[in-house]
Copies of this chain bind each other. A is one copy, B any other.
Amino acid sequence: MDFNDTPEEAEYRARARAWLQQNAPKATPHDTETPAGMASAKAWQRKKAEAGYAAITWPKEWGGGGGPPWQSVIFAQEEADFDTPGNPFLIGLGMCVPTVMTAGNDADKARFVRPAVLGEEIWCQLFSEPGGGSDVAAARTRAVRDGDDWVINGQKVWTSGAHYSDFGLLLARTDPDAPKHKGLTMFWLDMKSPGIDVRPIHQMSGGSNFNEVYFNDVGVKDSQRVGALNDGWRVSLVTLMNERLAVGGLGGPSWRAVMRLAQDVATLAGPAAKDAGLREKIADWYVQAEGLKYTRYRTQTALSRGQTPGPESSIGKVVSASLMQDMANTAMELEDQYGIISDPKDGPLAGVFQAALLSAPGMRIAGGTDEIMRNIIAERVLGLPQDVRLDKDVPFKDVPTGR
């Protein structure tokens, strides 16, 4: 256990840091929902790609950096110190394009990888459906043969970034008579194709990060197929496996913010900063947050050694989302009546806890609910049996849906 770099690592780190100091944008807009924010994100991605700092471990001929895994870890650490633009490329580079690289044909690889690395093309992932939720293999969106090609009809939901994406990775049902997991096929889609209708989902927090995507007779060539016919479920596992590693910290207030609040608030017994109940909670939160941080160190250690990270990397979201909800609720209890005020200009610490309270429920759900994450840990890490399934080995059209 050593927090010090090897000479080679230190040299790379110094070089990366110097480059970042020279090139990282100052006072950049972050919100990729605005044109300025998106332009700044694309410019930064291109700059990194040109210097070999985008997709550091991917081959150079595809726009990557051609470096070993530890470089990728170091660069991410260093970049985190700078106030860089938003990142709309995460889903494409973290999930969709790796799927194309693994399961796609050579033409697709040649066509898509480099523009994605350069930040020229953005991808979205079209898996979840209204009736499905966590059950991705329950996809009902149909792809029906039209000569050699396909026609798509149906609806996806919870699609992040669909409204600004150039391409999408679509999981569609090609054989409803086959058992659930055996009648799906993966395609890539031009999001500007006629018949695609993207509608934002209004979230309880007020934001609209996700979309519904409707398909109305959308034509797709058979050459847009990613992987074999009816092999879409296996292909989707590649995508989803990459998802687990792509999910980072959740942002939001930390135990430090509660400590700051406690400086300014009193309880019935005295200053909140001296309240033993609050102090115990801060200790509990600290231990969880630090535990997650050191767990990420372990993951990074594995990645930088070129190993697959252990299963411990799957615990992050399930811990941090509830942590945030609990912390926000406790802060509001401290603020007492005042806690109901959500306006950033009126509330303590600019309403950071109120905002966290409204976003925490989404964190507990997006990318796999707490319940699904625990199931994954139980099954994939601890090797416990799958839940009893009533939807296998029967034709998909006969699987009970309650409707």
- Residues of chain A touching chain B, judged by Cβ–Cβ distance below 8 Å, are 267, 269, 274-280, 388, 390
How many whole Å from A279's CB to the nearest CB in chain B?
A: 7
How many whole Å from A154's CB to the nearest CB in chain B?
A: 28
Nearest 8 interchain pairs by C-beta = A277-B277, A388-B388, A276-B277, A277-B280, A276-B276, A275-B276, A269-B276, A267-B276
CA distance A275 to B275 in the complex (A): 8
Contact residues in B for A390 (Cβ distance below 8 Å) = 388
Contact residues in B for A276 (Cβ distance below 8 Å) = 267, 269, 275-278
**Nearest neighbor of A274 in chain B, beta-carbon distance:** B269
Contact residues in B for A280 (Cβ distance below 8 Å) = 277
Contact residues in B for A267 (Cβ distance below 8 Å) = 276
**Nearest neighbor of A281 in chain B, beta-carbon distance:** B277
CA distance A190 to B388 in the complex (A): 42
CA distance A275 to B388 in the complex (A): 48
Contact residues in B for A275 (Cβ distance below 8 Å) = 276-277
Contact residues in B for A269 (Cβ distance below 8 Å) = 274, 276
CA distance A275 to B276 in the complex (A): 6
CA distance A390 to B278 in the complex (A): 48
CA distance A277 to B269 in the complex (A): 12
Residue from A277, A388, A390 with most neighbouring chain B CB atoms (10 Å): A277
Residue from A269, A276, A279, A390 with most neighbouring chain B CB atoms (10 Å): A276
How many whole Å from A333's CB to the nearest CB in chain B?
A: 10
Contact residues in B for A274 (Cβ distance below 8 Å) = 269
How many whole Å from A14's CB to the nearest CB in chain B?
A: 44
Known A269-B274, A277-B278; 12 more pairs at CB < 8 Å: A267-B276, A269-B276, A275-B276, A275-B277, A276-B276, A276-B277, A276-B278, A277-B277, A277-B279, A277-B280, A388-B388, A388-B390
